[in-house]
Amino acid sequence: MTQQPGDATNAVAASARDLIKVYGKGEAEVRALDGVTVDLMQGEFTAIMGPSGSGKSTLMHCLAALDTPTSGEAVVDGTSLGKLKDKDLTTLRRERVGFVFQSFNLVPTLSAEENILLPLSLAGRKPDRAWFDQVVDAVGLRPRLGHRPSEMSGGQQQRVACARALVSQPRIVFADEPTGNLDSTSSAEVLGFLRRSVDEFGQTVVMVTHDPVAASYTDRVLFLADGVIVDELRSPDRDQILAKMASLQDAAVKKAAS
Amino acid sequence: MLLLTWRNLLARKVRLLMSTLAIVLGIGFLAGVMTFSTGLNATFQNIVSGSTPDGLVRPAGDVSGANAGVATTQLITPADIDKIGALPEVAAATGSVDGFGSFLLGKDDKLVGGQGAPTLAFNYAPGENMAGDEVLELSQGGWPEKPGEVTLDTSSAERGGYDIGDTVTMIVPTEVQDPRRTFTLVGTADFNGGGTAGATLVLLDTSEAQEIFLGGEDAFTSVALTAADGVSQTQLADAADAVVPGGFTAVTGDKVVKETQDQIGQFLDVISIFLTTFAVIAIVVGAFIIFNTFSILVSQRVRESALLRALGASKKQVTRSVLIEAFLMAVVGATLGLLLGLGLSRLLAGLFRTFGLDIAGDVLTLTPFTIIAGYVVGILVTMVAAFVPARRAAKVPPVAAMRDDLVVQEKGMGRRLVLGSIAMAVGVALAAAGLVGAPGTDAIWIGAGAVIWVITTAVLAPVLGHPVLVACRAVFGRLFGTAGLLAGENALRNPRRTGATASALMIGLAVVSAVGVLASSLSATNDKVVDDQFKSDFLVQMPTFQGFPSGFGDRMQDVDGVDLVSRQQGTPVSVDVDGTPDQTFAIGVDPGFFEIYDLTMIDGTDQISGHQTLLSEGRADDLKAGPGDTIDVEFPGGKKIPLEVVGVFEDTPTTGGITFPLSVLADAGIKRSDSTLSITLADGADRATVKRDLEDVVKDLPILSVQDKEEFKELISGQVNQLLYVIYGLLALAVVIAVIGIVNTLGLSVLERTREIGLLRAVGLSRRKLRTMITLESVAIALLGAVLGMVVGLVIGVVLRQSLKDDLTVLSLPVSNLLIFLVVAVIFGVLAAIVPAIRASRMKVLAAIATE
Ligand SMILES: Nc1ncnc2c1ncn2[C@@H]1O[C@H](COP(=O)(O)OP(=O)(O)O)[C@@H](O)[C@H]1O
Ligand SMILES: [Mg+2]
């Protein structure tokens, strides 16, 4: 699970500079992000981990141009998001970012194929047929292309979502707990595919998860607690991750007790 | 994106079908009304141009007595006609004898043709219309060739139940004892343009027509002219005019056509505006339904919209996709609506046929204008109604796709309340301006205020409706336990949705209630007027207020127990108001009139004789005339008589604005007939016996009735009610559309609450209780709409009555009607819930819970 030689490994796909996101006011104030600075590398599979409520999703939303931070700067593919208007953010999402969500990934009224091609048809772009075929074969969905989401299992649906995220050849793919609703077999299929997309297509993938097994598929794991990055691991295995998580959990429990 | 729109439409077929239905019905109504109006116009157009010759010699003057059935005594002799016929410009001159005051009776002895369209009796003579075709076309049998023969129009013969060879009974305006005459039906014929528009045609042999209508004189009342080759209508009329006898004039066919069309046009315009008003109401109600459906659909698709936004759909794309959905729906709805309209116009035509107005089926076609109007209105209304929800869909933040807490924040009602209150105040100000007599028509000011009130009430329905819904919850909870309470909560939990759904019904009921107040006040006013003014014991009149032979009055005078029979004869006249001729109605009265009625004199005396006249206060103002002045009155036939004003009386429905002795009519060359007889009882006479004897006199003229005060009241309130029922019938469509809206909202709410319903079922809510719950929610919405509508409608009705207080002197609230409406609203609520309730109760508990 190493990076392919010759890749522009040092290039930054997305980065955060002192990101702060505050929800609510006064008593109800929640600092979901409390000064996050991080670089996400191109061609890397990065996991963001942390206890529930630690700000993982918020970080991802801010990096993926879905939400705006209270302060700080988010940069995607060299573009600083802070100065962009809704229209430009939309274009950026459409052209340079791919998404896989935990649930409700697919438009129920469209077939698998139509769902996969949705970002392209939104942009009014013609699909690259060869690339489409390659992606579809990689997720193993060819026989299911004509099916509606309701006719597919959760794992199949997530794979359709993955294929959709890749088909527009974005600079970076964000996945928020993509295996959160799946059983272990389906999870393995989805994670395997994301791994392959990094290895074979040189895709950049950022995944939020709290599952150590899922995180063990990645090249790099960032640990988040109370809205700050507290640690990181490179090419981790399951046990390392478990240990890290356990210590974070302890710290959280202690902090809550004090 | 188009694909997605298309799929969304298909996926929500049933839900959208209901909203499409709102468009279908609205546009259907509009198209139906337009088609019907066009057909009505075409029918008259065809008949008018098909029955008018190149030129016409007729009595001179501007006042046409024909419509009021007033006959003049001016005649033209055969020698005069020969003189006209000898002119080189004239190819043919055909004398006609036009008779008024005859009626055709059917085999069942009932009047044929109802009371709307006239009976045209005249001598048959061949003649060409402007286009060179025969004016009359025989459809069966032959023309009348000798006395005792008659040819009728096809439809009247059919309605009377007559076949060729049958004996036909008619009432003719003779002075002799028996006005009944029998003829042998020898044929049926129609105007060249097709049909008769409901008029009854009675074609007689010339000598018999002269005997009946002209007392046997060999003369004619008018002459139809056909131009020689190459002679224009103007040349024809000018040439003929030079030789016509005094009191007559020759006019072009075009002029006759234009005059007729102007007269009919006004009447047709009124019908078309009247009907269009209701189409507009239906469409406005439909717009509410569409708005509501899209609001709900959009809120149910928050996640989908957010997903699209996250995947890079621009706001515009999301808005557009909803709008395209609306557009496609509108196109489908308008198409179906146009077809429905065609059917509806046939139905309307059928309805009018029963009132005696025949409209040929082949003129009821969708004109390009109707089709374009249908699509434009349908698409515009739908798109406008869907615009706000579409914008809302685009405003969904992309993050919403990933957050579980999907509550899209709704703005508070505060701003709405403030703006609404301001709008209400503006409405009040407008209505007040109308009441205190701002320039222009009061009704326009008040109408503008009313429209603002209705719209504001719709916008504020979520707030204004709160107390009603809270009351519903309390009552339902008491009566139906938990299911009732849950129903109340459900109606309360999304006030916007409940309010918008109820608003559709509110509009319908507001109009119904306002009309109800006016109708009820009108009836009450009429009762009062009759009580005040009905001074005689009996009144004898035709329901159409046409004239009838004066022989009846003569015979009634001889009935035992009758003290006095006062004769009144009405006629249209023309007077000069500020330099322009003004058509009005004048009444000639006998001296007995003043023995029965006390006119309240403001000025001068009510003692009139010779060429003297009384004026009502209103008329005197118009004419700027008072006692001592002389006014010029022009009568049908063209005679002008100067009348000396001797008195001015307070306005009253008892007599016309210009009232003079009967002798004036005779001097004006108007044939004697009566339009009203006022009869008083001799002292000690038995009312019932006298009435029976009087009725015996008119038994040969079945439509002439002897009424006492109560019967007269009933007659008038019957007419008011008839109109009221027609209006209610037309408004029913708007109410039906509103009910569809409730079905739609409930259906969507049930779908949205699938999980919750599953949960309720899982914890033990029975199917029956579930159905009760949904039915009660529906009833709450219906009641809310009804209550708001009635309150608004009552206010509007009362204000309108106030502005009309000169005519509607009594204010009366239709309390019992309002209670009925409330009950009907509850019934509609129950009906609207049937399908959604069944759907909800059929949900499988587990599947419902598993639904995401
Ligand atoms: N829309 C919101 N409004 C208020 N608080 C929020 C909102 N979204 C997230 N939060 C809060 O921000 C914190 C971080 O949330 P999130 O990023 O979703 O955490 P994670 O994904 O790590 O579980 C949590 O305490 C959460 O309650
Ligand atoms: Mg999360």
In this structure, are strands B180-191 and B136-141 parallel, antiparallel, or unpaired? antiparallel
> Which DSSP symbol is given to A10?
T
Cα→Cα distances B223→A168, B84, B245, B380, B588, Å: 88, 9, 12, 54, 29
CB B120 within 8 A of CB B202: yes
Cα B68 to the center of its chain, rounded Å? 21
Chain B closest-CA separation from residue A5 CA (Å): 32
Residue from the list A61, A109, A119 with its beta carbon closest to the beta carbon of B311? A119
Cβ-proximal residues to B714 (8 Å cutoff; 6+ apart), any chain: none
What pLDDT score does B851 carry? 54
Packed helices B442-464 and B495-533: angle between N→C axes, nearest 10 degrees: 140
Buried residues in B540-560 as b, exposed as e (16+ CB within 10 A): bbbeeebbbbbbbbeebbebe
SS3 content of chain A, % helix, strand, coil (to 5): 40, 25, 35
Classified as helix, coil or strand, B682 is coil
Which tokens go with B845?
A: 């508990």
Residue showing tokens 């009996």: B538
C-alpha span between B744 and A43 (Å, rounded): 51
Spell out which residues of chain B touch residue A94, defining contact as CB-CB under 8 Å.
311-313
How far is it, in rounded angstroms, from Cα B167 to Cα B148? 10
Amino acid B297 reads L
Query: Going by C-beta distance under 8 Å and a sequence separation of 6 or more, which residues neighbour residue A152?
Result: A112, A144, A160
Query: Is A195's pLDDT higher than 70?
Result: yes
Tell me which chain A residues have a C-beta less than 8 angstroms from the C-beta of B852: 103-104
Note the pLDDT tens digit of each residue in B362-409.
Answer: 778 888 999 999 999 999 988 988 888 888 888 888 877 666 554 445
Low-confidence ranges of chain B (pLDDT < 70): 1, 14-16, 62-73, 113-117, 174-178, 193-195, 354-358, 360-361, 401-413, 438, 440, 544, 702, 845-852
What residue has token string 């059928």?
Answer: B350
CA distances from A133 to A127, A147, B116, B267, B442 (A): 10, 17, 77, 72, 73
Q: Where are the domains of chain B?
A: 1-53+253-403, 54-252, 461-535+709-852, 538-707
What pLDDT was estimated at residue B588?
92
Residues 401-440 of B with CB under 8 A from A: 401-402
Contact A119 B312 (CB under 8 A): yes
Would you state the structure tokens that stand for residue B298, as one six-digit string? 């959009």
Residues in chain A: 258
Nearest to A109 among B11, B314, B317 (CB): B11
A79-86 average pLDDT score:
86
- Candidates B451, B434, B500; CA nearest to B784 is B500
Q: What is the pLDDT of residue A198?
A: 92
Closest chain B residue by Cα to residue A105: B307
Residue B810 neighbours by CB distance under 10 Å: 16
What sections of B568-644 are H helices per DSSP? 592-596, 617-623
Helices (H), B113-174: 154-160
Report which of B751, B724, B756, B667 is spatially closest to residue B296, judged by C-alpha positions: B751
pLDDT at residue B403 in the model? 62
Burial class (CB in 10 A: 0-12, 13-18, 19+), B670: buried
Q: Quick check: A104 and B315 CB within 8 A? A: no
Q: What is the pLDDT of residue B339?
A: 93
Amino acid at B337: G
Amino acid at B95: G
**What does the alpha-carbon distance between residue B452 and residue B458 come to, in Å, rounded to a whole number?**
10
Secondary structure (DSSP) of B230-254: T--HHHHHHHHHTTSPTTEEEEEHH
Pocket of ligand 1 (CB under 6 A): A 23-24, 30, 32, 50, 52-58
Q: How many CB atoms lie within 10 A of CB B846?
A: 11
What pLDDT is recorded for position A5?
39
Which residues does A contribute to its contact with B (CB < 8 Å)? 57, 61, 66-67, 86-87, 90-91, 93-95, 99, 101-105, 107-110, 114, 118-119, 121-123, 164, 176
- Percent pLDDT > 70 in chain A is 95
The complex scores an ipTM of 0.79
* Closest residue to B307, CB basis, from A90, A107, A114: A107
Q: Which of B273, B111, B285 is nearest to B202 (CA)?
A: B111
pLDDT at position B75 is: 82
Q: What is the DSSP letter of B413?
A: S
| pLDDT for the residue B661 | 92
pLDDT of A3 > 50? The answer is no
Query: Is A150 buried (19+), middle (13-18) or exposed (0-12) by CB count in 10 A?
Result: exposed
Element spanning B687, H or E: helix B687-697
Q: Please give the Cα distance from B194 to A234 (Å, whole number).
A: 95
Choose the mutation target among B8, B402, B406 for the interface with A, i.e. most A CBs under 10 Å: B402
pTM: 0.76
> Mean pLDDT over residues A193-203, rounded?
90
- Cβ contacts below 8 Å, chain A against chain B, sum to 74
- Among the partner-chain residues B312, B315, B401, the one whose CB lies closest to the CB of A104 is B401
Ligand 1 centroid, distance to A231 Cα (angstroms)? 20
Domains of chain A (ranges, CATH numbers): 12-257 (3.40.50.300)
C-alpha Rg value of chain A to the nearest Å:
18
